[in-house]
Structure formats: C-alpha cells, structure tokens
Amino acid sequence: MTTPLQTVLHRAAALALGIGALASGSALAESTYGYASSGTGTVTATARVNLSVTIPKLILLRVGSANTVVDTLSWTSTYSIPATPTVPVAGNNTAVSWDANAPTVTAGTQPTALSVTAWTNAGAGTINCSVATWSPATGGPLNSNFTITSTGTLPHPGANLGACASTSFPSNSLASSTWAYQLGGTPSAWTAGAYSTVVTYTATGV
C-alpha cells in the first residue's frame, strides 16, 4: 500500500526527471498504447515528435574598404589659361601670357573604381542609395553630374546619383561588382570652393 508521503515523493521525483530532461535539451514526445483484451488482432501505438529548424536571417554589404573605413572619392578641377596654355600653380602675382579668353576647365582625374559585394539569405535582397545635402549647398556639381558605371553582377542603384533608385540581388548568391564614379557636368560654371557630401547605400533583405 502506498502512503500519501510516498505518493508525494514519487510525483516529485517524476517532476524532477521531467525538468532534468528539459534542462539537458532532451525532447519530450507523447506516449500512447494499444490493447486487445482478446489477445488477438493487431494493436498499434503511435508517438509524434515535432521538428523545428530556425535559420537566422543575415545580410552583408561592402562598398569599398572593409570595417569602419569610409572611402573618399576626390576630384580637383584643373584649369588651363590660354593662349600658351598655362596650368596655374599656387602663388600670387604670377606673370602669364593670357590672350584674354576664358580658361578651359576639366572636372579632374577620375578616382579608382570601388569594389562592391553583397550577400543575403533572405528571400530577396535590394540596395538603394541616398545623397545627403552638399556642403556648401549650392555652387558646385549636381548629383546628376556623377555617373556610375558598374562592372559585375551587382548594378549600381541608379545610373547617376541624381537618380538613386533600387537594385536587387538573389538570395544565397554572392553578388559583386566594381563601381566607377565619373564626374561630368560643366566645371566652368562651378563656383570656387571645397564641396562635400555623403552617399549612403542601404541593403535590405525581405
């Protein structure tokens, strides 16, 4: 005969075993039985186990250098004074053979292209871009003066920075390109100054 104290102890032991199984990471399945009092025929017992797999979502984007380095692409306009022609050098009161025609101006040397890579295991990945307000805000080149040529499997989101749009790349497939930034426009119409802005690229996985 089981005493009340023994019953309590048995239940406590069973509870402890259950908690121990959960703490150790063991899965607990259901239990059933089949019974035929006649001792004949077929009996069955089934037990089910639920399986669950979670795949974390990850997206990666690299434009230029790795880690926290932000690359700076720089242009310095060049001038040529006619008629010789003469390329100006730093200084004041420098004599020059100027024929009184306007100087010619170019945007400057185009910088090296940037390597760009993206990856995601989301259903689809997209990249879009945005350009912050220039400092100074006026007088220099326009966003549309910067065209970007893409070579590879990852197009730039927009043919120029004045038309920033969105570009997509496939899931679980490394997408990479080189983006070459070229400054055009009309440099002879720009006011002297040091102009700067920031282009932000955002990769999104959905």
For the segment 145-174, what is each residue's pLDDT rounded down to a tens digit?
Answer: 999 999 999 999 999 999 999 999 999 999
Instruction: Please tell me the total count of domains within the chain.
Output: 1
Judge whether residue 123 has pLDDT over 60. yes
CB 100 within 8 A of CB 150: no
Residue 16 pLDDT > 80, yes or no?
no
> What is the predicted pLDDT for the residue at 159?
96
Residue 109 counted as domain residue: yes
pLDDT band at 29 (very low <50, low <70, confident <90, very high): low
pLDDT at 149: 97
> What confidence score (pLDDT) does residue 26 get?
62
State how far the Cα of 129 lies from the Cα of 163, in Å rounded to an integer.
9
Residue 41 lies in a domain: no
Query: Is there a domain that residue 149 lies in?
Result: yes
Domain holding 153, by residue range, is 59-205
Q: Which one-letter DSSP state was computed for residue 181?
A: E
Task: Read off the pTM.
Answer: 0.79
> Please, what is the Cα angle at 148 between 143 and 150, to 5 degrees?
160
What confidence score (pLDDT) does residue 3 get?
54
Coil, strand or helix at 83: strand
Q: How far apart are the first and last CA of the chain?
A: 63
Mean of pLDDT over the chain: 90
38, 77, 144, 181 from 114: Cα distances, Å: 81, 21, 19, 8
Q: What is the pLDDT of residue 6?
A: 46
Flag whether 13 is in a domain: no
